[in-house]
Copies of this chain bind each other. A is one copy, B any other.
């Protein structure tokens, strides 16, 4: 298939979370059309096996390639952690993902190389962030990881500044204090919405790093290098989900920070 600058960027996630990545891409690359896919019938992926996640990821990849995307962004930490070979194996276009971009960005801002990672249980179990940090940062990077399964439902409930969320965060993040971290990676696309509360819980000595803006910067660099950056007018974005388009629209606008055009229902 032929790609030119007017081809869209494909961004996908298990649900609404990847809209924080779409938002970062829209802010940095305001002329690029985006095709977003959220697998809302099968969300959450964070509690599924690697085999199942890889199978679902391959189905979504095929769907987006059929839309003639010029680039794929895996905006789901779980898929990036366990399904990247299944995606890159199918794709003739560049595949970017949040883990590598987030790890590189964390290494660029840390001074002490003592980095924490919070994410869903399956992302943590995959050790994908630790491995990326060790690969990119060398043997003297110290990492500590913590699975935070309640953060996604709390964000989807909209309790972004609720006492219960604060208690949960204190319980999850308390044990990290002993590690003298200076950087904390928010390894799940839902977590940027909790950033103000998390910053209060961890205190001023720790910088929070989310992967959305990091992957957007990487996308811009690759499009420029390949002459695929679109400079036309205001783009039209498309949103596809596998269930409950209305719920996606309602919750999603909080993640995207702006209104969405209509959302298409798809069966994979």
Using a CB–CB cutoff of 8 Å, the interface residues on chain A facing chain B are 40-43, 47-49, 52, 149-150, 152-154, 156-157, 162-164, 167-168, 171, 243-244, 247
Contact = CB atoms under 8 A, between A and B. Distances in A.
Copies of the protein in its oligomer: 2
Contacts of A150: 150, 153-154, 157, 164
A150 B48 CA distance: 19
Contacts of A41: 42, 48, 52
A47 B244 CA distance: 8
Given A42-B42, A153-B150, A157-B150, A52 B243 contact: yes
Contacts of A244: 47-49
Contact of A164 (B43, B47, B152, B167): B167
B153 A164 contact: no
A43 B150 CA distance: 16
A262 to B, nearest CB: 17
Given A48-B243, A150-B153, A152-B153, 18 more contacts: A41-B42, A41-B48, A41-B52, A43-B47, A47-B244, A47-B247, A149-B153, A149-B156, A149-B157, A150-B150, A150-B154, A150-B157, A162-B171, A163-B167, A164-B164, A164-B167, A164-B168, A167-B167
A41 B168 CA distance: 26
A227 to B, nearest CB: 42
Contacts of A247: 47
29 contacts: A40-B47, A41-B42, A41-B48, A42-B42, A43-B47, A47-B244, A47-B247, A48-B243, A48-B244, A49-B243, A49-B244, A52-B243, A149-B153, A149-B156, A149-B157, A150-B150, A150-B153, A150-B154, A150-B157, A150-B164, A152-B153, A153-B153, A162-B171, A163-B167, A164-B164, A164-B167, A164-B168, A164-B171, A167-B167
